[in-house]
Structures are given as C-alpha cells and as structure tokens.
Structure 1
C-alpha cells in the first residue's frame, strides 16, 4: 500500500455495535470509495484504484478483511463466513449490517472533502451494497459490479423494501447508476439482474443501467479485467471513469 495514507475509522453496525477498520486513501479530487470484493484488496483492485487516481479522483479503500496486496479467495471466504455480524450472505429482502458502516464512511469522506457527495464501487460480495448506498444523500454516483448476494438465491434482492424505495428516489434526483455482470457468471446470474431491473427500473425509465458482458468471467473491473482497447472489460472501465467524471465533477 505504498503511497497510501491510512487512518482508523469507527462507526456502528446495525444494532449499535461499534467497529473500527483501517481506511487507505490516495490521490486528489472528487472521492470514490472502493468496497473490497471477496478475493480481497489484491493487485487487481489496486490497479483499478490507480486508474481512478490517474483520472483525477481521491480513492478511499476501507480494509474489512483478508491480507493486503494479494488475493486470498479460500481464506477470505472462511473469514466472511465467520463475520456473521457484518455479512448476511443468504439474506433476502434485507441488506447486511456492514452497509451501515460503509454509509457512515461515505458521509465522513464527503464531509472531509467538502463535496456534495462521493462515488462508490461495490464488487461481488459488496456489489449489492452500492445499490443500497445510492439511497443515501452522501452518495452521488454508484457502480455495482457483479453483485453476488444473497448467495445461492440468484433471483432475490439483498435490500429491504425501504432501501429499494430510497434508492429509487435518490436515483430520480441524481440520475442513473451503473451495474455490470458477465453473461456466464454463475455468481451474479441473469435472474439477479432481472430482480434488480424489476425493483429499480420502470419500462420508460432506467434508474440503473444494467450491462451484460460476453463470457464466463466474474470480476469485471479486477481479476477478469483485460487492459486492451476494445475489450468488453476495458470498455466497462472507460464507462465507469466517464460516469464518475460527469457525476462528481464540481459544477
């Protein structure tokens, strides 16, 4: 994590329990919070952070679990299963308590930067969190990449009815957000996108732009990203950078 500033941030989970995690930050400009995916904060996530910094953003990466700087799929799966007070892996029609901690962080980052709101990227385990967080006034732009919860229940939502309504209302005010998945991804299925579409979008009004990439990958912006012009993942990243540029730039 060379070049990153680090600080401790404490906030409450649902139910009142206060927890503390390290938060890493680098760069200058409109802030974007990257919520780590299940494989962890590995080189691929740091490469995504580099691209955002190069595009003129301050990147904020909270460290919730796992080793830093490398991927630990099996080890992190065990850690997440043990973190039941954070992640409700199989919960439908409600979000995980971790969302409340991330919401508090987004508000803190917004206030520290003195901006109207921040951007967020959620991936895999945290992909659904981005959709919930867009319902908060501190978040002006959100990207949900391969939202994977609730696990197994591929046609269900990891959001309460109240969270869906808040997301719809805020997206009406700030404009649509982005979501990505691979066509053959068994972790984020077509049924998951259909459920999100039914909950968030109307026939004449897309509050969330759902993009399906060809292939059987999973991590659109990190592990399965191919940095070649014209590649679907490269085009996805370019659309993310353009989206944040439009939504977060000072008027």
Structure 2
C-alpha cells in the first residue's frame, strides 16, 4: 500500500465494495473526482490532482486498481480489470457495481464540500463513467477525456461506443436537457483509441451541450504533438502557457467554476 505525500486517505464502502480514496483539500473548495485511467495512478495523475487543488478544488482520487505512484503498467491493470466483476460487466454494456460506487462517492463528496455539486473526470476506458455519473444530481460538471471502452475499436458501432448502457445514455441526455448540465469532452485529433466518431456520436446525443475540445495531433502539427498522443490531462500534458493541452486544462477549470458556482447558487 503506497502512501502519497500531501494526500489524506480514507476507505469508502458502498454496495458491498470498498476502495481507498486519496483526498487533497479540506472541503472548502468544490469537489472534483478524478477516475484513474488504465496506466494506473501514475505521477502524471498525481500532478493533475495537485494542479486542481492549487486551483481551489478539493480533489478525490479513488484507487480502483493498482497502486498510486506505480510505474506505467496498462497491460497489467487491464488484466486486473478484465477479471474484476466490478468492471467486467462494462464489456457487456451493463452498468457495473463500480459505477454505482462512484456515484455514491460523489454524493459523499457533495456533503463534505458544503453541499455544492461536484465535477467528475473520466479518462481513457473510464471516460464513459462521466456520462453515467452525470445522471446523479450530485454531479454538475462531467468531463469525458479521451473516452475509450472495452468493446474495442473495430467496426462503426464499436468506434462510436462509450460502453454506456442505452438507459444511462438516455438518462444522461435527459439530465443535460432538463437541468442544464453540459458535457465536456477532450481528445487528440488522431487518437486511434478515441476515434472522432465517438465525439460525433456525443455531439449527436447532446448537441450544443457537448463542449468539444480536439487538439491537433496530425503529422507536422504546429506544436509537434506526437501522432500517438492519447492522454490530454496526464501523460501527454505539457504545462506550458498557451500549449494546447494547457489551454484544454484551463477550459476545464473554467467549466468547473462556471457549473459548480451556478449550481451552488441555484
């Protein structure tokens, strides 16, 4: 069990499942949930949490698999996910227990952060969780970052899919319309693990309420972003003024402040 300097830790149990949760902040700032991506909670994910904390948020980072500050090990974590009942149902487009666990955690976050609704970031194969979580009134600022899924990338349907049930997608769309909850999405333009068709599908589902951020990663792009770039906020993030990934992060922070402030006043 790897402790992370500067973070508090607690164990959260719901629905018969329990996971460690790293927390940075005392609840005086709005809550933001970071759902880890497949490579694990690497130093890049820890830095994302620290940036959000420095920008005034209380950050929650559940340890769903692997250990914090572990090496980059996507294949090892994929093996863990594939044999886990909590995640295995995602491949069959049925809501897994981990989604309900995360929604319960968001409700606790809201309570701990003065009753203000929270933001949530799903990344890579957890990107689709942003849609499942936004069904809950505790979540007012969902972000789907380079969303992938366990269905694969072959075929038109798989390339557009986020691994979300039809019922959850309909409920997310209804919540977006009725409660004015936008969805933010971000990806690199040539990311084969998150094809453009996936964002086209979200655009079709949410219309103007889908805030679409796509960063040029084509060959010979102006900022020399690798064509293999995938993780906008972590591994491929460049913390330099006016860099496209830094601009995407700044837009996300503005999105959180706008949405959470608006919901707190409602």
Normalised to the residue count of structure 2, the TM-score between the two structures is 0.85
> Superposition pairs for residues 64-143 of structure 1, below 5 Å?
64-70=64-70, 71-92=72-93, 94-143=94-143
Alignment equivalent of 2:241, drawn from 229, 241, 246: 229
> Superposition pairs for residues 1-80 of structure 1, below 5 Å?
1-12=4-15, 18-27=16-25, 28-70=28-70, 71-80=72-81
Q: Using the TM superposition, give the Cα deviation of residue 116 of structure 1 relative to its aligned residue in structure 2, in angstroms.
A: 3.3
2:224 match: none
Matched, 1:191 2:197: yes
2:255 match: 243
Q: Using the TM superposition, give the Cα deviation of residue 87 of structure 1 relative to its aligned residue in structure 2, in angstroms.
A: 3.7
* Cα RMSD for the two superposed structures: 1.6
Deviations 1:175-194 (A, max 9, x none): 31210111111111112112
For structure 2, which runs of at least 5 residues remain unmatched after alignment?
A: 153-157, 218-226
Distance of 2:135 and 2:80 partners within structure 1: 28
Q: Using the TM superposition, give the Cα deviation of residue 89 of structure 1 relative to its aligned residue in structure 2, in angstroms.
A: 4.8
1:177 match: 183
How many equivalent pairs are there?
Answer: 241
Distance of 1:189 and 1:116 partners within structure 2: 34
Aligned-partner SS, 2:37? coil
CA contact (8 A) 1:30 1:115 kept: no
CA contact (8 A) 1:164 1:200 kept: no
Q: Using the TM superposition, give the Cα deviation of residue 118 of structure 1 relative to its aligned residue in structure 2, in angstroms.
A: 0.8
Normalised to the residue count of structure 1, the TM-score between the two structures is 0.90
Q: Using the TM superposition, give the Cα deviation of residue 195 of structure 1 relative to its aligned residue in structure 2, in angstroms.
A: 2.0
For structure 1, which runs of at least 5 residues remain unmatched after alignment?
A: 13-17
Distance of 1:95 and 1:154 partners within structure 2: 19
CA contact (8 A) 1:11 1:19 kept: yes
Distance of 2:201 and 2:111 partners within structure 1: 34
Distance of 1:246 and 1:19 partners within structure 2: 33
Distance of 2:118 and 2:101 partners within structure 1: 15
CA contact (8 A) 1:95 1:158 kept: no
Alignment equivalent of 1:167, drawn from 172, 176, 179: 172
Q: Using the TM superposition, give the Cα deviation of residue 106 of structure 1 relative to its aligned residue in structure 2, in angstroms.
A: 0.6
Which structure dedicates a bigger proportion of its chain to helix? 2
Moved over 4 A (4+): none
Aligned-partner SS, 1:154? helix
Q: Using the TM superposition, give the Cα deviation of residue 214 of structure 1 relative to its aligned residue in structure 2, in angstroms.
A: 1.0
Deviations 1:132-164 (A, max 9, x none): 211211101111101101431212242223212
